[in-house]
Structure 1
Amino acid sequence: MSTLPYRNALIIGAGPGISGSLTRRLRAENIPVIIAARNVDKLSALVDETGAIALPVDASDARAMEALFAETEARIGTPEVVIYNAGGRVRGPIAELDAAEVEQAVAVTALGAFHAVQQAARRMVPKAHGAILLTGATAGVKGFALSAPFAMGKFALRGLAQSAARELMPKGIHVAHFVIDGGVRSAQRTDPPDVPDSMLDPDAIAQTYIDVLRQHRSAWTWEIELRPWVEKF
């Protein structure tokens, strides 16, 4: 039996990192999980391991997102937890960036998040119940050189989260934004031997998301920063 006050979850922009850890943690709570991504082939191992259901989606497409929520309802019921992890990156000097690529990157990071929040709100507000968690980054509070499109998207994501929290939290929907301030550990990105735990552990990140989902509404968090103990401010 789950110890969380929610019955199911939809993770958008799923992959093997933070989303993978979240999927495992939610499934350990016996919560049905839909994991959605543009390329679902990369999710096959996670599906086999956890029993989650993988569905394809282009998060930047409003109709595709509407269809994803409808299919989620058909498969596991109306989602009570919606987690948006999708993001688009284009790197390079501003003077040399391709405008179409920038538009697509921002559309995935920010506009896709709006589609997710809108679809979730339409379902959660009538029930006065639900949680919407948005995965941000350092770039949402500090733009780096050669990474303008990512900063644009993540700054917009943070603004969306703050606005949605002010609007939806009084209606019973917990909205939270997570600033992932540092590199996330993976099989390809490991800690240097001389600096253990210098990268964010995706399992530890997932645990924080779960802790936020357990918060009492008298003390809800709308934003939280996560950084390794050696990360410089």
Structure 2
Amino acid sequence: MAETPYRTALIVGAGSGISASLARALAAAGLKVGLVARDVGKLAALANETGAMTFAADASDPVAVATLFEQVDASLGEPDLVIYNASARVRGPLAEIDPEAVRQAVAVTAFGGFLVAQQAARRMVPHGRGAILFTGATAGIKGFPASAAFAMGKFALRGLAQSAARELGPQGIHVVHFVIDGAVRSGTRPDPEDRPDSTLSPDGIAQAYLAALQQPRNAWSSEIELRPWLETF
């Protein structure tokens, strides 16, 4: 397998699941890793396991994101790989859902992605290289009932990724949007005994991310859909 051509990774919206598997895979590939969350206390075990540094930030706050990248530059080095994995859900009937809760959810899921991508691009463009990855969802392809806020955020994130890929790709920056099209396996959501591998493995997702990072620039993907073999679409 080709070597991952990056040295310093920043995962924004880190926690258990996909981002934890990514942290382990990237660290195993020899990258320095930074983990970002509002509550860094929950990252202690993962940071200890992977040797990652942790940073506290609200991804939806422009000042906080700018400060975050300054801290990362100083303590970890400028990241040449940035992964946006933060999102927020608000469930409820359209006629009843709290507008302010929707505003906050979209701010985390989409506006935060813009803020992080902007800071990443400012660092990558002068070097003519780098990668920005966005973690999307089925909701970025089709909106479901009682899930307007999540659909709004993920549709916007997908649009951001498409625009960024077309703008930054010719400048040497690989932008990829991943559609996580299915339930992600976890300790509280295991596969049913009668349907093995019917959910997405976080480790399998991480493998797909790393494979995308190893693509030659004459054959870059800009969007990749991941689903278990039994998932309908």
Aligned AA for 1:96?
E
Partner of 1:144: 144
Task: Determine the C-alpha separation between the residues in 1 that align with 2:226 and 2:130.
Answer: 23
Taking the TM superposition and a 5 Å limit, the aligned residue runs for 1:64-103 are 64-103=64-103
1:82 is displaced (CA, Å) by 0.2
1:37-76 paired onto structure 2 within 5 Å: 37-76=37-76
Matched, 1:130 2:115: no
TM-score (normalised: structure 2): 0.98
> How far 1:3 sits from its partner (Å)?
2.2
Partners of 1:195 and 1:22 in 2: how far apart?
25
Aligned to 1:158: 158
Match of 2:190 in 1: 190
What does the per-residue CA deviation read over 1:55-108, in whole Å, with 9 as the maximum and x for residues that have no partner?
111000011001111111111111000000000100000111111110000000
- Letter matched to residue 19 of structure 1: S
SS of equivalent to 1:208: helix
Unpaired segments of 5 or more residues in structure 1?
none
Secondary structure class of the residue paired with 2:27: helix
TM-score by structure 1 length?
Answer: 0.98
Percent identity, aligned pairs only? 63
Calculate the aligned-residue CA RMSD, in Å: 0.8
Q: How many residues align?
A: 232
Distance in structure 2 (CA, Å) of the matches to 1:212 and 1:120: 18
- Please, which moves more after superposition, 83-92 or 2-11? 2-11
| Aligned-pair CA distance for 1:186 | 0.5
Matched, 1:12 2:12: yes
CA distance in 1, matches of 2:6, 2:211: 13
Unaligned runs of 5+ in 2: none
Deviation string 1:154-213 (CA, Å, 9 cap, x unpaired) is 000000000000000000000000000000001011000000000000000000000000
Which aligned runs of 4 or more in structure 1 are off by greater than 3 angstroms? none
Q: What is the deviation of 1:51?
A: 1.1
- Secondary structure of the residue aligned to 2:34 is strand
State the partner residue of 2:205.
205
Cα separation, 2, equivalents of 1:128 and 1:50? 28
SS of equivalent to 1:64: helix
Name the CA distance, whole Å, in 1 between partners of 2:18 and 2:45.
15
1:95 partner amino acid: A
